[in-house]
Amino acid sequence: MPRNPRYDILFQPVQIGPKTAPNRFFQVPHASGMTNAAPRVRAAFRGMKAEGGWGVVCTGACSVHPSSDDSPFPNATLWDDADIKAHALMCDAVHDHGALAGVELWHGGAAAMNRTTRYAPLSPSGVPWMATHVGFMTSARPKVMDAGDIRDLIRWHADAARRAEQAGFDILYVYSGMGYLPYQFLLSDYNRRTDAYGGNVQNRCRLTLELIDAVREATQGRCAVALRVSMQELRARPSDVAESEAHEVMGHLKDAPDLFDVKMDYSAFDCSPSRFSAEGSHEATVAFMKTVTGKPVVGVGRFTSPDTMVSMIKRGVLDLIGGARPSIADPFLPAKINEGREAEIRECIGCNLCISSWHDGVWVRCTQNPTAGEEWRRGWHPEKVAKDAKGSALVIGGGPAGLEAALVLARRGMQVSVAEAGRDFGGRLLWESSLPGLRQWFRVIDYRLGQLQAMANVRLFPESPMTAQDALDFGADHIVVATGADWDRALCGPNEIPEGRVDGPGVYTPTDLERGAMPQGPVIVHDFDNYYMGSALSEMLADRGLPVTHVTTAGTAAAWGFMTNEQPQVHQSFVRRGIVLRTSERVVSFAGGTARLAHMLSGV
């Protein structure tokens, strides 16, 4: 199909210093869990995006020196010449499809724990990052950088830039964002220096400017230099000479790099789940950039709608459409728009399972794209499936798992029948997507059902409950059972495993609520799943006017939601809704309208 002319602007080339991006689709640096230890995995993962039409494809954070060691969280390195070959594989994979390759040169400063290398963390003024999550906590305190340390940092960036060019990278980032070392110099909270690198805003910008110059000079201007900078905190701070400190900082930096990549300060807002943030949510913070610089600007916002992308460009908010999560969910998003197949885009649902992978220290995974992270090891392709299966298959259950199984089997060449007991396909998501903030999750069903409905070798049977004998009598060569599960009524024991049961009047599980039950009067939501369900139910019940007390066995609400960037906004949501939160407690019993609680550690 021909491309819709209203999307032509997305496919215009963009000049970035000495390089030309073939279109406006820019896969910004994002974590993938793929370090130098897995170079072929990384090359295949990034190369797939170039194949799918992304004009620029970047790595995630790439450490410039052992004093920036993020272990146990995965990060790549350009510490010495031995690292060059591993990165060259990715650059080659990206260049094979006509895209530019970018690398994010990174030093974490006080935010890097250096657990493996045991270097003292570096910082402008010795101010530590007091992380509240155990994965980031440390007893180490950072060293105040002296003039020699600053010279070393600049040299490390220059050395890494030369190695990056040898590997084949076209765009080299200086990373002054997200609380990392160059940004620590920009922000007065970290920077309390009284020398030429501290004090007023101009002095605080000095290091970033010197790093940009050093990276450019290291490659003699052959590579483009990008600056990644966070604006959330700076926009909120007043300035005596400009609208905000962000405007003042940009007054000093506006001509320095070849490209600005703008983002938020905190991961929970930079990579906010769809549960709390709509597409394009960064605009209010970053829209001013194009009013102060003539250099191209790229930004993100979980962009999946081509109309939103066009709007961002035509209204002068961005020059390039940044994608991290959408590029994982559908590496072929640009190609589908280019070919008039935008209805086939596998849209990111904003569940943030991808970012949880980095927190887990593993290769990226995706709810929408099961091939993510398996392009090399298993040879999986998001758009091409081998026609290697024959015969017929009956899939029992039309929820997320059943529809995904049916889609893969149909693409492999089988005759597929899907039997769903209910009137509508969607399974658990028919109800879960009605909970506060979770509507975007139904994209999982919309995409799969839309694909299946267009396939001649697929038959869909709603309102078709099946017994075991019915399934056998159907006569399919293969049977897939994907009928889901119900929530249990177990309580949580002091050893943090299910123990005992609670039943009787006034006791409900999420399954009961899904089937129409609704509590009356004050409600306790006992959450020891610690992901999204408990907090979403508390929000839903509060929205219906019920007094809600949320009891969790963990130290915070939605404790696993830290992994998906939900946790901070869950707590804020509870405050807005008046939900009472009790942490580190479990329900021991419930009878006669009275719940007995015990502390998880003390038992009292």
Query: Of 173, 175, 180, 183, which residue is the catalytic one?
Result: 180
User: Cβ distance 412 to 385 under 8 Å?
Assistant: yes
Q: Which 8-state DSSP code applies to residue 392?
A: E
Three-state DSSP at 602 gives: coil
Each as own residue / partner, the long-range contacts of residues 490-493 (CB below 8 Å, 24 or more positions apart, any chain) are 491/526, 491/586, 491/587, 491/588, 492/526, 492/528, 492/553, 492/586, 492/587, 493/586
Tokens representing 73 are: 């969280």
Residue with tokens 């052959």: 222
* Phi, psi torsion values for 379, nearest 5 degrees: 70, 30
492 CB neighbour count, 10 Å cutoff: 21
112 CB neighbour count, 10 Å cutoff: 31
Question: Closest by alpha carbon to 543, among 570, 576, 577?
Answer: 577
CA distance 1 to 180: 45
| 405 DSSP β-pair partners | none
CA distance 34 to 62: 11
Secondary-structure breakdown of the chain: helix, strand, coil percentages, each rounded to the nearest 5: 35, 20, 50
CA distance 548 to 545: 9
CA distance 325 to 103: 18
Q: For residue 119, indicate whether it is catalytic.
A: no
Cα maximum dimension of the chain? 83
Positions marked catalytic: 180
